Structure 1
Amino acid sequence: MSLSNSKYTFKFNTSIEKIGQTVWDDLANGNSPFCQYSFLHALETSGSVGGKSGWQPFHLLIYQNSEPVGILPLYKKNHSYGEYVFDFAWANTYRQYGVNYYPKLVTAIPFTPVTGARLMLDIKVDKQQLLPVLCKEIMAQLAVYGMSSMHWLFVEQDMSQLLHEHSQVQRHAVQFQWFNRQYSSFEDYLTYFNSRKRKSVKKERLKVTTQGIKVVRLHGEDLTSEKMHFFYDCYKQTYLKRSGHDGYLTEAFFQQIFRDLHHNLMLVIALKDNQPIASALFVFDQNQLCGRYWGALEDIDNLHFECCYYQGIEFCIERNIAKFNPGTQGEHKILRGFEPIYCYSNHSLKELAFHEAVERFIEQENTQIEEYKNNAEKLLPFKRSEL
């Protein structure tokens, strides 16, 4: 469906293929691998989104004078899973009042709690001028399609602030991320820890090696089909043990990104007696490493910390990558040097009474989140002189 508003024309698309790789990647130029056509296309063609997944593509293509100038990855959602910004309580409140919360509209990278660009624009577009028109158009679409609300997830801070100025309520959350302050090696990094915490990390890493574990990092052309199959077995088995299902992402998804995005992937494999027993998959570019998927066929003390955190830190130091996002939640990351940072989402609900109630809830929650972040900062392992 295509709608116009003076300078801009908006077209919503039920698959990324309807936009096409050339247009998408031209507009997503310079953004993270998660925003690229290959990643999002793999989600759709593999069945990880679409179908019965509860994620229905509804991507927005923005035109200016008949020329594509912007994209916004959008999904109609029939549930709140795979988002990592939790609104189950809001859905329950709707249900109590006999009102449908689902479907709702979300801009996000499915199953990926990584802050990044959502609205991706040609450099000639005036974002300040576009945003009020865009927000009005999206609210109109909520009414047309019977959706309750619009949610912008893991938005960059400056964009979140702009959205807040256009009645998209800003919500805070905390993640733990590692920052590369020009460390020359992992040992150099540990010199910034206080003595007790430094000894603790060294003990954890030593315990892995004394159990006969060897850990290797692979990327690029080393990511063979055989390695992918092993990784997927680990991923699936871990989900089955923890959640009773195979995981949100299909084997076909991993096959496709191993083929099309291997230059942006790093795979850690742990071996015992030369047999692989665990693996962790990371996505990276020149700016950031993101730890995304982990699985193990055998329980080994501290192996998760080694594969998912310490190997990632070493990789960033070796490649001079500025930051490392190991995934959402997990206070145990603090003691290993991952610092609490804010991440942002923005929300607008069609029904005014519900919107105002959510706004009050978020205002109280943001105060609690601020206190949580301040307390977490006090637990960091660095020497006081380094804080």
Structure 2
Amino acid sequence: MPADTPLRLRILEAVTDAPAEGWDALVGPDAPPFVRHAWLAAMEESGSATEETGWAPHHLTLWRGPKLVAAAPAYLKFHSMGEYIYDFGWADAAARLGVEYYPKLVVGGPLSPATVPRFLIAPGEDVPALRRALLAAAAGSAQEAGCSSVHVLYPTGDEADFLEAEGLARRITLQFHWKNPGYGSYDDYLARFDSKRRNQLKRERGAAATQGISLRTVRGEGLSQAHARRAYGFYTSTCERHAWGQIQLTPDFFARVFRTMPGSVELVEAVRGQQVIAGAFNLATPERLYGRYWGAFEEHPFLHFHVCLYHSVEDCIRTGRKVFEPGAGGEHKVSRGFEPTAVHSAHLIFDKTLDGAVRGFLRREHARLAPAVEEAERICGLKPWPLAASPGTQGATGT
């Protein structure tokens, strides 16, 4: 199709209104699972992300003739749950100003606090031009739908730069990621801590053996629908244990993901005797591991740390993965070597008074960010990695 063929905007009420092959051609074979067609389809067709649950699909797509050339997954939101870029205070401020904050338009994925491309552009296309077209479509369609605002959640840094240049209010918050500079072994990782912290990590990780618990990762052809049901059990056990927990994903979501995306799913299982007593549902690409949902049917000291952190850190070293993103939150991760990492969002608020108040809040929040990073880095306390090691060395090892 000639490049000068006019673009046509279509807003999809289901991701399945776009062909899976055409959608995935925009993201590439090694893209994070959260932007792939199968993941979004599982969210929507399972009843986990629907208008009834507060996530009405509103996907922005650009077509040149019959070819899909750009897309931005988006949802009309009727609450702020499941986003992890917290704007509850903004909704309260809107109410005081007499502004209806909901619905709002979220450009992003349901229940997926991970940095991924939000503007999906076909190879060979004019990226800035199509980003502007998608952003204009987001703003225009949001106003037509009676939304108060547009929120682009967890875009890449490059996309965040673009959105800020286009006039959106940029927000920077923190997650805590484990990063692999080239470890050859788990001992290499431990060697970066001081003696006190190193012994703490050894003690916490070693507790499982004294409790008669072993850990394993199930992936690929080893996964079955029984594992999908187990993953749902992990997820609900944690939601039910906490007052803030809210079960949003259905059993069918897990069944679909395990069936349609086996190459992206990993399940950590903690086994005592013949029983799986705890575990974590993770997602993976060749270079990154994403922690999603954990749960336990029995309580044991330090089991959470081992299942959600230590076991997967060692597995990332073994497989050569570069980054492990365990998700939102971070207090307990910092002292275990997970480093503060900036994540981004961008916000277009139509009411000028509310927009000014939000921008003022973001300026104050940003001023507090540098001290928070410095404190997290102090607690993390990793020694510098010897990047200048001679060829063939994997770095220092320690006990």
TM-score bucket of the superposed structures, by smaller chain: over 0.9
Q: RMSD over aligned Cα, in angstroms?
A: 1.8
Structure 2 residue 196 is matched with structure 1 residue 184:
no
Deviations 1:91-130 (A, max 9, x none): 1111112221000000111101100111010122222233
Q: Determine if contact 1:135/1:166 at 8 Å carries over to the other structure.
A: no
Aligned equivalents of 1:336, 1:148: Cα separation in 2: 40
Aligned residues: 383
Unmatched runs of 5 consecutive residues or more in structure 2: 388-399
Q: Is 2:158 aligned against 1:161?
A: no
How far 1:208 sits from its partner (Å)?
A: 1.9
CA contact (8 A) 1:269 1:278 kept: yes
Is it true that 1:12 corresponds to 2:1 in the alignment? no
Q: Contact 1:118–1:155 (CA<8 Å) still a contact in 2?
A: yes
Higher mean Cα deviation, 221-230 or 284-293?
A: 221-230
Superposition map of 1:219-234 within 5 A: 219-234=219-234
Q: Give 1:65 shift.
A: 5.8
Q: Does 1:79 align with 2:79?
A: yes
Instruction: State the AA in 2 paired with 1:20.
Output: P
Moved more, 277-286 or 360-369: 360-369
Q: 1:238·1:297 contact (CA, 8 Å) conserved in 2?
A: no
| Equivalences for residues 105-184 of structure 1 within 5 A | 105-184=105-184
Q: Following the alignment from structure 2 to structure 1, what is the Cα–Cα distance between the partners of residues 303 and 70?
A: 43
- Paired with 1:184 and 1:197, the residues of 2 have a C-alpha distance of 20
Q: Following the alignment from structure 2 to structure 1, what is the Cα–Cα distance between the partners of residues 113 and 201? A: 26
| Native 8 Å contact 1:279 1:294 kept in 2 | yes
Cα distance, 1:21 vs structure 2 = 0.9
The one-letter amino acid paired with 1:373 is V
Match of 1:3 in 2: none
Q: Which runs of 5+ in 1 are unaligned?
A: 1-5
Q: What displacement does 1:197 show?
A: 0.9
Distance 1:229 1:324 in 2: 24
TM-score after normalising by structure 1: 0.95
Deviations 1:193-232 (A, max 9, x none): 2111111100111222111111111111111222222232
Contact preservation (8 Å) 2:234, 2:293: no
1-structure distance, mates of 2:262, 2:347: 35
Cα 1:338–1:95 change in 2 (3 A) is same
Q: In 1, Cα distance between the equivalents of 2:258 and 2:384?
A: 43
| Contact 1:178 1:339 (C-alpha < 8 Å) held by counterparts | yes
Cα distance in 2 between the residues matched to 1:143 and 1:225: 42
Provide the secondary structure at the position in 2 that maps to 1:139: helix
- 2: CA distance between counterparts of 1:229 and 1:384? 42
Which residue number corresponds to residue 43 of structure 2? 43
- After superposing the two structures, state which structure 1 stretch, 234-243 or 267-276, moved more: 234-243
Alignment match, 1:21:
20
Conserved? CA contact 1:50–1:56, under 8 Å: yes
How many Å separate the matches in 1 of 2:246 and 2:349?
Answer: 33
8 Å CA contact 2:153, 2:344 repeated in 1: yes
- Aligned to 2:374, the other structure's residue is in SS state helix
SS at match of 2:327: coil
Distance 2:129 2:238 in 1: 47
* Cα distance in 2 between the residues matched to 1:192 and 1:310: 15
Distance in structure 1 (CA, Å) of the matches to 2:238 and 2:385: 40
Residues 34 and 40 of structure 1 are in contact (CA less than 8 Å); yes or no, is this contact kept in structure 2?
yes
Q: Which stretch shifts more, 157-166 or 15-24?
A: 15-24
Bigger mean CA offset, 272-281 vs 245-254:
245-254
